[in-house]
Amino acid sequence: MFCIHCGANNDADDKFCVNCGAPMSAPEPESAPAQTAEAPAAATSETPVSAESTTESTTTAEAAQPDVPAAPAAPAVPAITPEPAVAPQSMQTPSTPPAGEPAQSGTTAAAKPRRGWVKPVAITVTLAVLATACGLGAYLTWRQGLWGGTLLPQESSFTVQAGQQLTADVVADQLKSKGVKVEKQQIFSGKPKGAFVGYDNLKPGDRVQKDQTVTVQESAGPGVPQGTVGKSASDAVESLKDMGVPVTAKEVVVSDDSQYAEGDVVVTSPADGQALPEDQQSDGIFVGVATKGDGVPFDIIGKDVDETRQALTKQGFSVTVVNRLSAKDNVGKVAGSYPAPGESASGSKSITLYRGMDADSVKKALSNVDDGYGYTGTWGSPFNLAGRYCTKAGDCLTFKSQTPNSQAYAPSLYQTEGSTSPFKDDNYYGESGTMMVTCDAAQQPYCSSDKAQYLVNGGTGALELFPQRDLTSTMCGGKPAGDVIGQVCVNGKLQTITDWNSFPQSSGSTYEMDDFYVVFPVGADLDQLKSDGYFDDAALKDAQGKPAVDTTRPFILARDKSQYSSTSASADGMNATNPFLPYSGYGDDSHVKMKPAPTDDNVYYLVENSDLDWDSLPDATVSTSPSPSASASASASSSASASATLDQSMMKNVTGSYVFPSSGMSQTELTVNADGTFTGYYDSVDEDKNIQSTPQSEWHRSPFRGTFLSIAKNDAGGYDLQCDATALKIEMASGDSSDPSTSAGIYTCGTWHWYPANTPFSSMKSKNGDVKASIYGPVKGDSWPDPILINEDGDGTFLSNWS
């Protein structure tokens, strides 16, 4: 089908021309009828504008238009030659002929040329108007995204449920419904996890074509973007200011300017490219800035161990060397130290250097632990795996090396972060954490079974980790049964037996799936494990196509209990084999396979240099420009004083923890920081419960965070604070049906008042005017004995030292 306006060839089902944008359904104009000229040539001195010439010029102009139509201009109306005031002789009507003489035919013929140009001109004008209308329609429909691609909507154009945030999933689904190809990309931001952040390299109003993929950015919460290390401190801090958490710059000692320029970022917490764990958001992000000084230089990382030991010894340090897992680049070299690299010298001059280990050196080290009496075996608790391991999303596991007693031949490994085991902190010698083993080191510290199928005995270089108590204990009625002599599980309840002649058989005792990890040092043969059938087939298939793990870094894979249909097995009678542990060489060999298979998104990578004591490091001075979002919020706040600023000397008086017990079913915990940020939790319980008598494990806990922009003294001896309402973010807990906007006390986040201890209630400002009446529970006297923080616009009265 050819366009009647520009002549371009189109498909039969095209509604608009692919070249000029005109509707393809527009009717073709009829050609002007042929004229019958009766006048002689001399009578046509006024030549009318022909429809054919007008159509030809219009077609030429339209054919030159680009694919994207421009807004149409007003049509050019063909010029009409004006009729002269005195008609030419050939056009005049002669006087009435004498009687009897016939009228000359020339009179009639002379009048026809005047009427001859009217019809062509009318046709020309009609065609011009038609073309203009078509062009205008095409332009408007193009602007609306009805053809020529899809317009990316503004945030306000997406449909979300009332009270819910706009998530990246919502944006992706609604774009897909418009026929747009979509992929998601997680980035760190100050928005809650899952929230829509924006489009990558595109903005609302941009036009995308059918073959174009739109990347929807999804918030991963606050974190340190990849590439922060190596930036100047000012650039790094500036880029982190919109994460919605405190950002603190600290001095880190370096000795070599050629490796780390003074003033550049050398280390961060969380690590470069890692998310900030939720339980650390009140502390925020730390940025280590290279500084010359005395101490353990940060740039010892990657150096030769012997040379570093000699250099530190010359500086007066007493140096010990131990082995630890490390990234590929630091195997056999200095991988870290205690005190951590970069800390300034103070007090003790003792230092422990960590020599980096790979899979081979880990196995050799564990296989050569001497008991002091000539026996050498494989040590069951791999203490050299100590360190902090985190996922890209910010979930972390921490393991520490401890010597449980003076008789131990070597240290043992204890999990101190991330444990969900029922045997957590259940140790014999009062150690902190959960003792972890890699084999059947139950009543002895060494691996004992030659028939066992523990990875530490194999050749892949990988090894398992699980709580040592899983080897000796069962569960009874959902609680640890322990190994107390004389206790037995009867019908799911623990009983103490005194009559040994009638000792009952256990009933209701179970093995429960517990924490279980597989550790992959650098050099471990992951492919061999896959081919050996260690992983579940469906888990391997699910991992296909997902980002592969970085094998240049040590990592841990955690078993996901939610992927198993059964996580409990009977331990009654002769069922002495725990099916959720590796085969010990005895009993049934039907043990579960590992789920999931490892991908870059689900493994925990070793965080090197995680031992820095950030609180002890001196603050670094970094100059940055004000945050644009904070500046905009401050200028938009009419209630904030124009001269008020965030005076940290005032804020130090406000810092601390407060509680708003809004009802028997909910309460809000708030922590205010010296930099003006605040974090907290909105906790609630189901309607038939009371939060004070309900175990915390049954609470619905919703974390939130926000920022105070300014602080100024008030007339009651306290301070008035202005909250940035746009910075207040809350992530509602799953299953929580309560409404925080009416019960959390933090909405609307506008003007707050802080009053010191023993301030009279009559001097305090509150939305309802009666602060004393707003306090949950009985109140004695006319003042509160401790500092109090009131959200005037949200009717929340937050109390310190409340219980």
Question: pLDDT digits over 687-701, tens only?
Answer: 778 877 777 777 888
The alpha carbon of residue 263 and the mean position of all alpha carbons in its chain are separated, in whole angstroms, by 29
Q: Is residue 294 included in any domain, yes or no? A: no
Lowest mean pLDDT among 13-27, 448-462, 522-536, 547-561: 13-27
Same-domain check for residues 383 and 436: yes
Q: Pick 595 or 93 by higher pLDDT.
A: 595
Same-domain check for residues 132 and 210: no
Residue 663's pLDDT is 64
Same-domain check for residues 591 and 648: no
Cα distance between residue 289 and residue 267, in whole Å: 7
Hey, is 356 helix, strand or coil?
strand
115-129, 625-639, 748-762, range with greatest mean pLDDT: 748-762
Average pLDDT over residues 591-619: 88
Average pLDDT over residues 221-234: 93
Q: Is residue 736 included in any domain, yes or no? A: yes
Residue 569's pLDDT is 92
Cα distance between residue 561 and residue 600, in whole Å: 19
Average pLDDT over residues 291-305: 88
Same-domain check for residues 602 and 711: no
Residue 780's pLDDT is 75
Residue 522's pLDDT is 97
**191, 219, 247: which is the final residue of a domain?**
219
Q: Is the pLDDT of residue 429 over 80?
A: no
Nearest to 221 by CA among 199, 200, 242: 242
- Enumerate residues 6+ apart whose C-beta is below 8 A from 697: none
Give the start-end residues of each E strand in 148-187: 150-151, 181-187
Lowest mean pLDDT among 168-177, 565-574, 730-739: 730-739
* Percent above pLDDT 70 for the chain: 74
Lowest mean pLDDT among 59-68, 291-300, 315-324, 719-728: 59-68
- Asked if 667 contacts 691 with a C-beta cutoff of 8 angstroms, the reply is yes
Cα distance between residue 665 and residue 496, in whole Å: 39
Same-domain check for residues 167 and 211: yes
Q: How far is CA 416 from CA 420, 427, 467, 656, in A?
A: 11, 13, 12, 26
Band (735; pLDDT cuts 50, 70, 90): low
Same-domain check for residues 63 and 192: no
Band (68; pLDDT cuts 50, 70, 90): very low
**133, 148, 163: which is the final residue of a domain?**
148
**560, 579, 608: which is the final residue of a domain?**
608
Same-domain check for residues 110 and 158: no
- Asked if 669 contacts 683 with a C-beta cutoff of 8 angstroms, the reply is yes
Same-domain check for residues 132 and 154: no
- What end-to-end distance do the CA atoms of the chain give, in Å? 81
Phi first, then psi, for residue 88 (nearest 5°) are -60, 160
Q: How many CB atoms lie within 10 A of CB 139?
A: 16
Domain of residue 753, residue span: 628-799
Residue 614: half-sphere exposure toward Cβ, Cα within 13 Å: 19
Kindly report the CATH number assigned to the domain that includes residue 187: 3.30.10.20
> Is beta strand 207-208 parallel, antiparallel or unpaired with respect to 181-187?
unpaired
Look at the chain and report how many structural domains it folds into. 4
Query: What mean pLDDT value characterizes the chain?
Result: 79
Q: Is residue 127 included in any domain, yes or no? A: yes
Band (55; pLDDT cuts 50, 70, 90): very low
Average pLDDT over residues 532-548: 95
- Asked if 267 contacts 609 with a C-beta cutoff of 8 angstroms, the reply is yes
Structure tokens, 482? 């322990």
- Asked if 602 contacts 393 with a C-beta cutoff of 8 angstroms, the reply is no
Q: Pick 786 or 637 by higher pLDDT.
A: 786
Residue 202's pLDDT is 87
Lowest mean pLDDT among 216-225, 308-317, 419-428: 419-428
Residue 18's pLDDT is 56
Residue 430's pLDDT is 64
Q: Is residue 293 included in any domain, yes or no? A: no
Same-domain check for residues 45 and 190: no
Q: Pick 722 or 598 by higher pLDDT.
A: 598
Q: Is residue 308 included in any domain, yes or no? A: no
Band (222; pLDDT cuts 50, 70, 90): very high
Q: Is residue 31 included in any domain, yes or no? A: yes
Dump pLDDT digits (tens) for 306-336.
Answer: 999 999 998 888 899 999 999 999 999 999 9
Whether the bond between 618 and the residue before it is cis, its omega within 30 degrees of 0, is: no
Lowest mean pLDDT among 209-223, 267-281, 399-413, 466-480: 399-413
Q: Pick 580 or 725 by higher pLDDT.
A: 580
Q: Is the pLDDT of residue 565 over 90?
A: yes
Residue 407's pLDDT is 65
Q: Is residue 298 included in any domain, yes or no? A: no
Nearest to 466 by CA among 439, 504, 497: 439
Cα distance between residue 612 and residue 609, in whole Å: 6
Q: Is residue 665 included in any domain, yes or no? A: yes
Same-domain check for residues 102 and 197: no
Dump pLDDT digits (tens) for 139-197.
Answer: 445 444 444 468 888 877 888 777 678 899 999 998 998 888 999 999 999 998 999 99
Band (719; pLDDT cuts 50, 70, 90): very high
Q: Is the pLDDT of residue 387 over 50?
A: yes
Same-domain check for residues 590 and 455: yes
Band (724; pLDDT cuts 50, 70, 90): confident
Same-domain check for residues 40 and 134: yes
